[in-house]
């Protein structure tokens, strides 16, 4: 079974999210909505499959990255979240919380060996395009 199939997103905290979004728009051309920016692409192995990678800024006081103390979190795309989380638990990896399901996919969280929170996403890309 494949584990990580790609980068799903990059998320980071800052003191003034709106000012930061404007900086990225003005200097790097990244248009951000309420939830951030979306980069569209196609799967190399299945070019008919449309996919996205998310980029989002969170306020410094967010608890979304807890229990990690770092101001960033990576999101990795996976194919079968439930099976993967079960295997990771068996391997001794710390799983944080329960799987959450939305119209655009399933999410789960783990901690790496230094306590960084990692978000795992089983996407339904077509709902976001």
Q: What is the pLDDT along the chain (129 residues), one digit of tens a residue?
A: 789 999 999 999 999 999 999 999 999 999 998 889 999 999 888 898 889 999 999 999 999 999 999 999 999 999 999 999 999 999 999 999 999 999 999 999 999 999 999 999 999 877 666
Looking at the chain, how many residues does it have? 129
The answer to whether the predicted template modeling score (pTM) of the entire model surpasses 0.75 is yes
Look at the domain 4-128 and name its fold. 2,3-Dihydroxybiphenyl 1,2-Dioxygenase; domain 1 (3.10.180)
78 SS3 class: strand
Where do the DSSP E strands lie in 15-104? 37-42, 50-59, 72-78, 95-102
Domain limits, the chain:
4-128
Q: Which CA distances in Å does 51 have to 39, 76, 114, 123?
A: 8, 13, 30, 9
Q: Tell me if 101 sits within 8 A of 86, measured CB to CB.
A: no
N-term to C-term CA, the chain: 27
């Amino acid at each position: 079974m494949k584990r990580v199939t790609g980068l799903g997103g990059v998320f980071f905290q800052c003191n003034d999210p709106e000012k930061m979004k404007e900086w990225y728009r003005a200097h790097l051309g990244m248009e951000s909505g309420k939830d951030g920016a979306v980069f569209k692409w196609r799967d190399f192995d299945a070019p008919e499959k449309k996919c996205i990678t998310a980029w989002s800024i969170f306020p410094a006081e967010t608890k979304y990255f807890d229990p990690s103390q770092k101001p960033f979190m990576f999101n990795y795309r996976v194919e079968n979240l439930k099976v993967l989380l079960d295997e990771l638990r068996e391997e001794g990896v710390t799983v944080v919380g329960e799987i959450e399901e939305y119209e655009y996919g399933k999410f789960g969280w783990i901690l790496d060996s230094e306590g960084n929170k990692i978000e795992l996403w089983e996407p339904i890309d077509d709902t976001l395009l």
